[in-house]
Amino acid sequence: MLDQSGPLNSLGFAKAPADTRVVVAMSGGVDSSVVAAELKAQGYDVVGVTLQLYDHGAALAKKGACCAGIDIHDARRVAEEMGFPHYVLDYENVFKDAVIDEFADSYLGGATPVPCIRCNERVKFKDLLETAKDLEADCMATGHYIQRKMGDAGPELHGAADANRDQSYFLFSTTPDQLDYLRFPLGHLPSKDDTRALAAKYGLSVADKPDSQDICFVPNGDYAAVIRKLRPEAAAPGDIVDTEGRVLAQHDGVINYTIGQRRGLGIGGLADPLYVVKLDADARHVIVGPKEMLATRTVPVREVNWLGDEPFNARPEWHVAVKVRSTRPPTDAVIRPISATEATVELAAAEAGVSPGQACVFYDRETSRIYGGGWIHKG
């Protein structure tokens, strides 16, 4: 436990900033660069660490993604500008095993994976966090837009002050122990403009650098191209069938379709439009049906990470709000625990596009607090 006999510094430690070592996870973007610069300016003992997650030779010129060669260069340059040490760690093998391979397998299994969550869970907040402890850091800071607040039972996870930048959906799997060690200095800022103003204040070379848009190893959002490279057999042609198994058309690879897709099916002459309602990679079937088949109120979840003050299965029901996709607003729901890590979530209103492989994240209905979440599966 912390010695809190004296006044706390801005990171919550009862000692001078100069005596507080903080490892900053630096992606090379403006957010994490500002975190490092601000903490250095406040007098903290800052150490910057950047992860090389894939072959930066191939990715050197790619815009709109983090952890590539140019981003490593940018992170190192910020460290030089602000005068703190910076290290690059080669995590290519870890990243491939923990994130990329599962992404490919999950996608081929008919799911819609969210690899950024797995990267936070299995690489950044696991291996990198352990590296920070090896460096004898008091805490690790990141540029994520989310807030860590102290509650009666310890640190709590809360949404960002700027709802447009909030990254809580991607951080639901942060455990209580990790939350104890992590800090998110940008979560309270009103807008991204404030972050860029800080970058300009410190004269950072990345002040005007565009935000990353794509999954770092999926250039231009082309999932199919990546899967084709990782799993060439997935591009095999097959049948588009209805829910009764009747063949309606042919396709050129299950990887080219997503749940909820309507356009590009090549099925004409029907009174009502059809949508992709299921993918069967083993049978090489794209299954289509009417729009109402996409809507559901029952969402099975597993691998639940619970951030409430009581044990998850201490109650038969939790009345919360949930997000079943990162782009959706939270909607009222009831969680019914099956075990400490499994549950059934019942939505107050049916939602379309609830897809295995996505996360279901739990929010307090009245406040900004996040209670964790789980992974949607087929049930």
What spatial distance separates the first Cα and last Cα of the chain, rounded to whole Å? 41
- Could you give the CA distance from residue 221 to residue 239 in angstroms, rounded to a whole number? 25
Q: Is 28 annotated as a binding residue?
A: yes
Which helix or strand (DSSP H or E) is residue 362 part of? strand 359-363
Is 53 annotated as a binding-site member? no
Question: Do the annotations mark residue 31 as ligand-binding?
Answer: yes
51 is in an annotated binding site: yes
Q: Which residue has the tokens 């990887």?
A: 255
Would you say 29 is a known binding-site residue? yes
Nearest Cα residue to 25 out of 169, 149, 128: 128
On whether 27 is known to bind a ligand per the annotation, the reply is: yes
Q: Is 75 annotated as a binding residue?
A: no
116 is catalytic: no
Q: What is the number of other CB atoms lying within 10 angstroms of the CB of residue 359?
A: 24
Active site residue 139: no
Task: Tell me: is residue 283 an annotated ligand-binding position.
Answer: no
User: Would you say 143 is a known binding-site residue?
Assistant: yes
Catalytic residue, from 66, 67, 116, 119: name it.
119
Q: E strands, 31-169, where? A: 45-52, 86-90, 139-141, 146-151, 154-159
The DSSP line for 171-226 is: GTT--HHHHHHEE-TTTT-S-HHHHHHHHHHTT-TTTTPPPP-S-TTSGGG-HHHH
Please pick, among 66, 116, 139, 216, the residue that the annotation labels catalytic.
216
Give the residue ranges of the annotated binding site: 25-32, 51, 143
Give the residue ranges of the annotated binding site for ATP: 25-32, 51, 143
Residues recognised as catalytic: 119, 216
